[in-house]
Amino acid sequence: MTKAFLGRLLVLLVLVLPELALAQAIQKINPTNWWVGMKRPNVQLLVYGPQAGTLTYTITYPGVKLVKTNTVENPNYAFLDLTIAASAKPGTVRIVGKKGSQTVTKTWELKARDNSPKGQGVTQADFIYLAMPDRFANGDPGNDKFADLRDPNHDRNNPFFRHGGDLQGAAQHLPYLKDLGVTAIWFTPVLENNQPLTNEGGTMRASYHGYGFTDQYNVDRRLGGNEAYKSFVQKAHAAGMKVVQDAVYNHVGNTHWILQDLPMKSWLHQWPTYTNTSYRQQPITDPHASQIDKKVTLDGWFVPFLPDLNQQNPYVANYLIQHAIWSVENFGVDAWRIDTYMYNDQPFMNRCNAALLTEYPRIHIFGESSVNNVVDQSYYVRNNINFPFKSNQPGGLDFVLEGAMVEGLKHEGTAQRMYEALAQDAVYQDPTKLVTFLDNHDHDRYLSVIGEDFDKYKMGLTWLLTTRGIPSMYYGTEILMKNFKNPTDAEVRKDFPGGWPGDKEDKFTAAGRTAQENAAFQFVRTLATYRKTHPALHSGKLMQYLLQDNLYVYFRYDANGTVMVATNPTDKVATLPTARFIERTKGFTKARNVLTNETINDISTLQLPAKTALVLELQK
């Protein structure tokens, strides 16, 4: 090799290497695309790559204007403020970055909006089914694990590892859900959780639950990825069902790609030493609370491996709000469940809710605020209380009513707590938008809490499916899945039997269920199907009566129908004179028992079997 050749090679490298480096200067753009014709004209692009923040950017595309380039502490980031005119057409936008004589170009797509259903919302007419996709059904064993992910494990024998359930498997069982009477499916989060195993109390655990996002713009490959999610939503819609997306704004996984190279220190809530949230809601509504108690509740980290996002940072806020809109538009989901709602910055939540409702006026938003009293619960939804801060969240998960129903059945054998909880509905602007439930993936399973008493099981489900609000049922409740979180939450997150090839039992079929499991399934199916087709029950007004002799009676009614629910939680047959219910029974002389199809020809006095809730369609 001659000196002359080496010299020419050195010159070539001097010229080419900067070009190669510049070519890598833009590695990611979020949002990954946008759409023309959106009501929100402004989009802020997060641009990331080595020295991306040192480039001078230009965009030349009809209807798209680069208003401002924002640089931050980390020179690897630029935030580009765009406005998209109503006249803009779909196409490929060229984003040009320059540095000296060098130029790099990246493309970013503006898409046409399609006419597929999206943001349809859920209402009292719906019945939501909550499932963990990793534990429901495995339709594609080929995506069970990937060697290039931080957690390459898959082992159904280990309760803490991933088990391989996916969106394709869930799609294959849509007919089962439709037959059950389900009208909406809510999955725990489906977004990428490329997290390593975490050591929790000496046990290595996978993030199969989905609450540690590592990339908001990718659905986890182990669930099938973005296309599988789109396909699932489309199939659910074709089957007449809606899809609820589980959103997390408060935190991300500690291996989120942004956290590997933070744009700025204030992207997260920072403390001199690690500070956990207190998990206490009282400082938020307490007019006498100290600022430090409020700060610890709101800005403390949920757990050490889920870093807490600072939503008061405008770049963080834009990032999260735009992703919410992008998800609804891209995947076509219908409703938005928000994890750890009470730990978020509430002014931010109002802005995010407003942005979603502006684009999708029918979308329903309901957050998780795990509180134990009506006043605190009302704080996080549209309410009638004179709080200094007013939430605009349309709905929320009704933890108060859950506790009232389950604890009433568990301890006292009475509906008194349920009556008292509903008697305080005046604090909410619209209590019918609350999502009701008996258990979930974070709680002991309902059947176990009530001592595996089948009569109590039916009473609680009757209340759930006949009282006000939007009912939600945790997967497997219809086949009597049970267990307590003690010793671990994996005990209440077991695989649905029959969801995996080779399972010894297939509870998706009547033949695979025991006689009592089939009785439970048919009970839920009968009541859910009736509820779906009778507006008086799912959307009518609610009137309840004071308990007498521990008997609880309420009515759902509209101009076209009246349904009477009469509960006898005692262990003896009870006689119920109905004269005091004349306000609602006037004009009716008989009834049909919705669950047995039996006709009762005289409703002046009813016989209530022990530990039973009757659902009666009143007739003239």
> Which residues are designated catalytic?
339, 368
Phi, psi of 527 (to 5 degrees): -70, -40
Per-position b or e across 522-533, b if 16+ CB within 10 A of its CB: ebbbbbbebbbe
Which residues are registered as beta bridge partners of 614? 566
End-to-end CA distance of the chain: 105
Name the residue type at position 268: L
Please state, as a whole number, how many other Cβ atoms lie within 10 Å of the Cβ of residue 38: 17
Q: Which residues pair with 185 in a beta bridge?
A: 129, 243
For residues 242 and 472, the answer to whether their CB atoms sit within 8 Å is: no
C-beta of residue 420 within 8 angstroms of C-beta of residue 408: no
Contact 72, 315 (CB under 8 A): yes
| Inter-CA distances, 355 with 84, 234, 328, Å | 16, 24, 12
Q: How many helices (H) and strands (E) does the chain have?
A: 16, 28
Alpha-carbon distance values, 45 to 30, 246, 349, 360 (Å) = 6, 24, 21, 22
Mapped onto helix, strand or coil, the DSSP state of residue 67 is strand
Contacts of 104 (CB under 8 A, 6+ apart): 22, 23, 25, 26, 55, 96, 97, 98
d(CA 302, CA 368): 14
Tokens of 531: 């509820």
Largest CA distance in the chain: 111
97 backbone φψ class: left, alpha, beta (φ>0; ψ -120 to 50): beta
DSSP tag of 384: S
**Strand, coil or helix: what is 282?**
helix
Q: Which residues of 537-557 are buried (b: 16+ CB within 10 A; e: fewer)?
A: bbebebebbebeeebbbbbbb
